[in-house]
Amino acid sequence: MAMNRIPLATLLIASSAWAQSAGIRTYANPIDVDYRYNFEQHNQGISYRQGADPVIVNHGGEYFLFMTVSDGYWHSKDLLHWRFVTPSRWPFENVVAPAALSVRDTLYLMQSMFEPRPILFSTAPATGRLEFYNRMLPRLPKMMPSWEPPPGPPGSVPPGPWDPAIFHDPDTDRWYLYWGSSNVYPLYAMELDKSRRLTFAGDPKPLFTLDPARHGWERFGQDHRDTIRPYLEGAWMTKHRGKYYLQYGAPGTEYNVYANGTYVGDDPLGPFAYAPYNPVAYKPGGFMTGAGHGSTFQDNYGNYWNTGTPWLAVNWTFERRVSMFPAGFDADGQMFANTRFGDFPHYVPTRRWANKDELFTGWMLLSYRKPVTASSVRDTFPASNVTDENRQSFWVAHSTAPDEWLHIDLQREYTVKAVQVNFIDYRSGLFANDSMVYTRFRIRASRDGRAWETIADLSAETRDRPNAYIELATPARARHIRYEHGYVGAANLAIGDIRVFGNGDGRGPATPRGLTARRDADRRNAFVGWSRVPGAVGYNILWGIRPNKLYQTYQVFADRPTSLELRALTVDQEYWVAIEAFDESGVSRPSAPVAVR
């Protein structure tokens, strides 16, 4: 394939249309931030970019993102463009699973802890200036007679608070703390004394533990197929119309079924009742799976969002990223997070949305299983891996030199509107100089494989963008997409997936026929089946507790069997399912809901 090649090191941007536009309107999960390198695995001599346990806070109409082990945080004015902020001071060790909260003119930050640690605060977090709000929280009480965890001693409370969440009730001006991360101990809550700078007030109150025997989604393992005792963690509190929604993550971050659930109460200290529609955020299928351990916040238009921790796990079991899903509460007070097409492009709203699906752009995946050629291939990491929508398979080039490239043949002409390039840290050693960690490449497109145009140019990028999402300033008509390498701050050039989004010229697929849903003898499980739709790329199984409350989605690609064992049901709860098909041109109408019997 002959073409004129311009070295990226010397390429100048000739047109503003080539670069990522400052006026972008969309994002795609995992969110495009410069995930920091994590050095937890020093003993193994590897490192990797890491994002987990995200908390997004709306403070003064701007947004601040905190996550695990990042040496700082991110600031955005629009939920689209994120800037890393290096703080003026940081806790005694790097922050894990942080709690953050904005109250009036102050942003508060608290780290997970086993020993007493401070709470920090800022009235100008965009500048990075943090101060001590209190120097050291006291130790948690050791005894609590109302709880006897197996196998711990009666009344014991684990060191902490680990995985904390701070909540301020605006109606009472009282403060509360929630925490817990264990497969033995419950979530806890206690009030904080605002007159003593948010020190502990009273004794910890145990709230609830997981009940996997009744709640199918709380079972451990891939698709809930492991018998290990599941983990309860990641507390978060949201107040909505006088009700208190205490959210939690389960059953384990290292699986596709990591999700957020909720209990609901009339008082911030309970009692809390298990919500019948759990989990509230669940994404077991698709490209980036997992949606647990996050936060719920409102944007400047009053729209709710739920953040979560999708699972990568190439270098280490707990290697993760960050996702953000539209969320809300329906007229009956049912909480939900919308993960339908959860890793496809979505609009960031400029007003209050009225329909949970209206933020989906309708830009479809054009690259799934399309043929790929490469400049070079190392070992057993073929170029075909970059279009398989498998986050754990990847292509590795022989070198990191600027003349490495990938060529995707979409097999027909489409209107291309966005591209996402997902890099992998393959055998990366420890980095001594963060200034060397940045990402450079360009994307070119062609209708015939001979005449090429540059549609995205990051050849002058100064940030690290391991999950670079590029919305094209002008949609491009193309059959061929070419990645041309510039630079990556890693030991090897490895790309997991290049995902091309846009639309075909035809109509979307037909609605799947023959939908069936049968409850298993184990009522936590159901078997769903349907008839194949010719030309479909995949299917969304939509399910929920009422025919008009199908808030959950399990995405299945069309090269898999036309059946699904859904293992996330609550024993004594009724369910309905529907199904829709999608291809490169659009989405079918969903089928009529079917009761799961």
State the burial class of residue 13 (Cβ atoms within 10 Å of its Cβ: 0-12, 13-18, 19+): middle
Which of 402-415 are b and which e, b meaning 16 or more Cβ less than 10 Å from the residue's Cβ? bebbbbbebeeebe
Closest to 419 in 3D by CA, of 472, 490, 477: 472
Q: What are phi and psi of 30, to 5 degrees?
A: -70, 150
CATH of residue 126: 2.115.10.20
Secondary structure letter of residue 119 according to DSSP: E
d(CA 217, CA 251): 7
pLDDT of residue 50: 85
Q: Does one domain contain both 524 and 493?
A: no
Domain-ending residue, one of 471, 503, 535: 503
Residue 355 within a domain: no
Residue 390 within a domain: yes
Residues contacting 43, CB < 8 A, separation 6+: none
Give the pTM. Answer: 0.93
Residue the block writes with tokens 């403060």: 175
Q: Does one domain contain both 573 and 539?
A: yes
Q: Does one domain contain both 84 and 207?
A: yes
Q: Does one domain contain both 445 and 337?
A: no
Q: Does one domain contain both 286 and 429?
A: no
Q: Does one domain contain both 433 and 549?
A: no
Residue the block writes with tokens 């799961």: 596
Q: Are 119 and 136 in contact (CB under 8 A)?
A: no
CATH of residue 586: 2.60.40.10
pLDDT of residue 145: 43
Residue 327 within a domain: yes
Residue type, 195: S
Is residue 133 within a helix (H) or strand (E), and if so which, with residue range? strand 131-134
d(CA 247, CA 366): 36
Q: Does one domain contain both 478 and 404?
A: yes
Tally of CB atoms within 10 A around 516? 14
Closest to 407 in 3D by CA, of 389, 423, 424, 395: 395
Is residue 421 within a helix (H) or strand (E), and if so which, with residue range? strand 405-423
Secondary structure letter of residue 137 according to DSSP: P
Q: Are 276 and 334 in contact (CB under 8 A)?
A: no
pLDDT of residue 574: 98
Give the range of the structural domain holding residue 569, as residue numbers without chain letter. 516-595
Tally of CB atoms within 10 A around 590? 16
Domain-ending residue, one of 319, 347, 375: 347
State the burial class of residue 55 (Cβ atoms within 10 Å of its Cβ: 0-12, 13-18, 19+): buried
Closest to 97 in 3D by CA, of 153, 161, 47, 147: 161
Q: Are 396 and 493 in contact (CB under 8 A)?
A: yes
Q: Does one domain contain both 122 and 210?
A: yes
Count how many domains the chain has: 3
Walk along the chain (597 residues) and give the pLDDT tens digit of each residue.
333 333 333 333 333 333 345 578 999 999 999 999 877 666 577 788 889 999 999 999 999 999 998 999 999 999 999 999 999 988 777 889 999 999 999 999 999 998 889 999 999 999 999 999 998 887 776 644 444 554 555 556 788 899 999 999 999 999 999 999 999 999 999 999 999 999 999 889 999 999 999 999 999 999 999 999 999 999 999 999 999 999 999 999 999 999 999 999 999 999 999 999 999 999 999 999 999 999 999 999 999 999 999 999 898 888 999 999 999 999 999 999 999 999 999 999 999 999 999 999 999 999 999 999 999 999 899 999 999 999 999 999 999 999 999 999 999 999 999 999 999 999 887 665 577 899 999 999 999 999 999 999 999 999 999 999 999 999 999 999 999 999 998 889 999 999 999 999 999 999 999 999 999 999 999 999 999 999 999 999 999 999 999 999 999 999 999 999 999 999 999 999 999 999 999 999 999 999 999
Q: Does one domain contain both 119 and 145?
A: yes
Q: Are 425 and 509 in contact (CB under 8 A)?
A: no
Residue 525 within a domain: yes
Q: Does one domain contain both 283 and 428?
A: no
Residue 42 within a domain: no
Residue type, 576: W
Q: Does one domain contain both 155 and 89?
A: yes
CATH of residue 375: 2.60.120.260
The residues facing 272 across adjacent strands are 265
Residue 36 within a domain: no
Residue 557 within a domain: yes
Q: Does one domain contain both 224 and 294?
A: yes
State the burial class of residue 274 (Cβ atoms within 10 Å of its Cβ: 0-12, 13-18, 19+): middle
Where do runs of H (alpha helix) occur along 77-188?
A: none
Residue 7 within a domain: no
